[in-house]
């Protein structure tokens, strides 16, 4: 099976087609635009032919080593940080936020070593505090990410500062980084719970002193995609800097909000592997990247075939278990048990999978799971994969026994072999009379 996504964009009219901006352009009657390998995907053409709402230069900023490590109970070792950074670098991620240099000497050393060892742009976090900013600059990062609380609740009960002090410190921090000749990103922390007029005030203040990036963080995960889209548009209208978004997943909207940010004109989204991070975590790297690639047709330039291995590495290092039903990287993401689904997937994987994203694209495998819902097609497929050559009657009997055994738990490969041998299913190397052509029964 191909490792590339299949996206066939049919003509909307024999001689017309919509371009990216929704304008009709004339095309020869015989031409249709094709991204990578052509393959018709039923029920999905309507979305794909409408064009992408997101530009091809959408950037991915990975914060696994910073916000991801802030997951309760997670602490990466020096070696784990280096290995994760090396994998992100090899994949072609645009930015790696390596850590918070001022936190400790060990953190400073880890950030410094990552900055020296990868080709990818490296970012270090800093509060709008002189010591933090200097530590980040001394660590040798390419970008310093400074942040300052802007919501009333955080100004009053976390930062203990007035609005005027917040603006003053934010401007001073941006000016210091700019003076050092390093790119600077500014985050008005808790932007989605900040008074809009004050948010605009602080954004315009840092814009005046030359900030390179303005991040729009949904720090407590309270935004909805529509509201976040509107907020990102508002921020973008008040700065000449490039816009970045940071979405948390407290209500399960992290990925949707990151994508809404892109649709609203953001250049970059902050993500973490497996979605790990504070509380319920962040927008997940694997979800955002594969949605961009598959649903929006954006070429991120990222080697997505490494996603499954990266996910497993972060799962082990973070000690945060990946749920089986986790999109893209969960054990069930490309697994099928139901007889109808399994039969369809055996014939054409697009029947009960998105089609625009395949397991091969992320370095995973497709699995047919044997259980109480398994059908004859899946059982035959699994028997043949295990080296058996069953007759139709044997498939029926093995299926019956698989369902029976599944009542008390999952059926393993060992169980299947045991059942097949009990039913005396011959091995593929054994000779037997050819069976009649089997009838599709599901």
Q: Is residue 113 part of a domain?
A: yes
Pair (128, 153) in one structural domain = yes
For residue 123, pLDDT over 70 is answered with: yes
Structural domain includes residue 368: yes
Band of the pLDDT at 29, cuts 50, 70, 90? very low
Which pLDDT band holds residue 56 (cuts at 50, 70, 90)? confident
Domain that holds residue 252: 59-318
In this predicted model, what pLDDT tens digit does every residue of 165-196 receive, in sequence order? 999 999 999 999 999 999 999 999 999 999 99
Q: Are 122 and 95 in contact (CB under 8 A)?
A: yes
Give yes or no for residue 85 having a pLDDT over 50.
yes
CATH of the domain at 199: 3.20.20.70
Quick one: 231 and 371 in the same domain? no
pLDDT of residue 212: 98
pLDDT (tens digit per residue) in 307-332: 999 999 999 999 999 999 999 999 99
* The pLDDT of residue 420: 93
Considering all CA atoms of the chain, what is the largest pairwise distance in Å, rounded to the nearest integer? 88
416-427 mean pLDDT: 93
Inter-helix orientation angle 130-138/105-117, to 10°? 40
318, 353, 385 — which closes off a domain? 318
Strands (E), 206-334: 213-218, 242-247, 268-271
* 168 in the same domain as 197: yes
Contacts of 356 (CB under 8 A, 6+ apart): 5, 6, 7, 41, 44, 48, 293, 294, 295
* Pair 170, 211 in one domain: yes
Q: Are residues 87 and 138 in the same domain?
A: yes
Based on the domain organization, do 203 and 311 belong to the same domain?
A: yes
Integer Cα distance of 279 and 249 in angstroms: 8
Average pLDDT, the chain: 88
Report pLDDT for 269: 98
pLDDT (0 to 100) of residue 52:
66
Residue 224 domain flag: yes
pLDDT for the residue 13: 35
Q: What is the pTM of this model?
A: 0.82
What pLDDT score does 344 carry?
A: 87
Q: Is 440 among the domain residues?
A: no
pLDDT over 60 at 164, yes or no: yes
- Residue 414: exposure state from Cβ atoms within 10 A (0-12, 13-18, ≥19): exposed
Query: pLDDT tier at 116 (50, 70, 90 boundaries)?
Result: very high
Q: What is the pLDDT of residue 369?
A: 83
| Sequential DSSP letters for 353-379 | S-SSS-GGGGT---EE--STT--HHHH
Instruction: Please state the rounded mean pLDDT for residues 25-33.
Output: 34
Task: Please tell me the predicted confidence (pLDDT) of residue 50.
Answer: 54
Decide: helix, strand or coil at residue 94: coil
Residue 224 has pLDDT above 60, yes or no: yes
Same domain, 287 and 365: no
pLDDT exceeds 70 at position 135: yes
Same domain for 242 and 366, yes or no, is: no
Number of domains within the chain: 3
The answer to whether residue 351 sits within a structural domain is yes
pLDDT of 3 over the 90 cut: no
Mean pLDDT of 87-107: 98
Q: Tell me the per-residue pLDDT of 331-354, one tens digit each, with 9 for 90 and over.
A: 999 998 888 887 888 888 988 999
| C-beta separation of 187 from 147 below 8 A | yes
* Residues 262, 360 share a domain: no
- Return the sign of the alpha-carbon dihedral for residues 296, 324, 373, 2: positive
Same domain? 46 vs 67:
no
Q: Do 359 and 321 touch, CB atoms closer than 8 A?
A: no
Kindly state whether residues 295 and 340 are assigned to the same domain: no
Q: Is 366 exposed, middle or buried (0-12, 13-18, 19+ CB in 10 A)?
A: middle
DSSP-based three-state secondary structure for 439: coil
Question: Comparing 49-63, 226-240, 327-341, which segment has the lowest mean pLDDT?
Answer: 49-63
What count of Cα atoms within 13 Å lies in the side-chain half-sphere of residue 76? 28
Higher confidence at residue 413 or residue 235?
235
Please say if the pLDDT value at position 122 is more than 50: yes
Looking at residue 263, its pLDDT comes to 96
Q: b/e for 326-336, b at 16 or more Cβ within 10 A? A: bbbbbeebbbb
Confidence tier at 45 by pLDDT (50, 70, 90) = low
pLDDT digits (tens, 9 = 90+) for 254-264: 999 999 999 99
* Euclidean distance between CA atoms 116 and 98, whole angstroms: 11
Domain contains 289? yes
304 and 368 in a common domain? no
What average pLDDT does range 370-388 have in this prediction? 91
pLDDT at 94 over 50: yes
Structural domain ending residue among the three candidates 253, 287, 318: 318
On whether residue 220 sits in a domain, the answer given is yes
Distances in Å between the alpha carbon of 355 and those of 3, 43, 207, 358, 434? Answer: 12, 10, 43, 6, 35
Whether 324 maps to a domain, the answer reads no
Domain boundary residue, one of 32, 51, 70: 51
């Amino acid at each position: 099976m191909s490792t590339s996504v299949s996206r066939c964009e049919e003509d909307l009219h024999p001689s017309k087609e919509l371009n990216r901006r929704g304008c009709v352009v004339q095309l020869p009657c015989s031409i249709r635009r094709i991204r990578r390998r052509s393959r018709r995907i039923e029920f999905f053409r309507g979305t794909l032919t409408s064009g992408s709402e997101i530009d091809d230069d959408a950037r991915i900023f990975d914060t696994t080593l910073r916000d991801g490590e802030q997951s309760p109970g997670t602490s990466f070792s020096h070696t784990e940080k280096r290995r994760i950074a090396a994998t992100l670098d090899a994949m072609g991620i645009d930015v790696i936020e390596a850590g918070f240099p001022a936190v400790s000497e060990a953190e400073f050393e880890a950030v410094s070593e990552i900055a020296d060892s990868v080709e990818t742009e490296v970012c270090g976090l800093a509060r709008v505090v002189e010591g933090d900013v200097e530590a980040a600059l001394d660590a040798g990062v390419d970008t310093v990410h400074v942040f300052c609380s802007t919501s009333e609740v955080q100004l009053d009960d976390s930062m203990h500062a007035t609005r005027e002090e917040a603006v003053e410190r934010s401007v001073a921090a941006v000016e210091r980084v700019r003076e050092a000749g390093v790119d600077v990103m500014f985050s008005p922390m808790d932007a989605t719970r900040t008074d809009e007029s004050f948010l605009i005030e602080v954004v315009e203040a840092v814009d005046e002193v030359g900030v390179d990036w303005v991040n729009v963080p949904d720090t407590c995960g309270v935004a909805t995609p529509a509201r976040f889209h509107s907020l990102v548009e508002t921020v973008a209208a008040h700065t000449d800097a490039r816009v970045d978004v940071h979405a948390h997943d407290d209500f399960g909207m992290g990925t949707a909000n990151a994508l809404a940010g892109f649709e609203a004109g953001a250049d970059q989204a902050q993500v973490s592997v497996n979605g790990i991070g504070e509380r319920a975590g962040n927008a997940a790297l694997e979800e955002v990247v594969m949605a961009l690639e598959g649903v929006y047709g954006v070429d991120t330039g990222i080697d997505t075939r490494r996603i499954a291995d990266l996910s497993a590495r972060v799962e082990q290092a973070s000690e945060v278990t990946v749920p089986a039903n986790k999109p893209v990287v969960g054990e069930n993401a490309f697994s099928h048990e139901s007889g109808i689904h399994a039969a369809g997937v055996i014939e054409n994987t697009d029947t009960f999978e998105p089609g625009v994203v395949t397991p091969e694209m992320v370095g995973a495998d497709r699995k047919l799971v044997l259980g109480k819902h398994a059908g004859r097609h899946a059982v035959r497929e699994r028997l043949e994969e295990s080296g058996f050559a069953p007759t139709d009657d044997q498939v029926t009997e093995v299926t019956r026994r698989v369902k029976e055994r599944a009542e008390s738990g999952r059926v393993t490969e060992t169980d299947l072999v045991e059942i097949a041998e009990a039913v005396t299913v011959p091995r593929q190397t054994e000779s037997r009379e050819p069976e009649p052509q089997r009838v599709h029964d599901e």
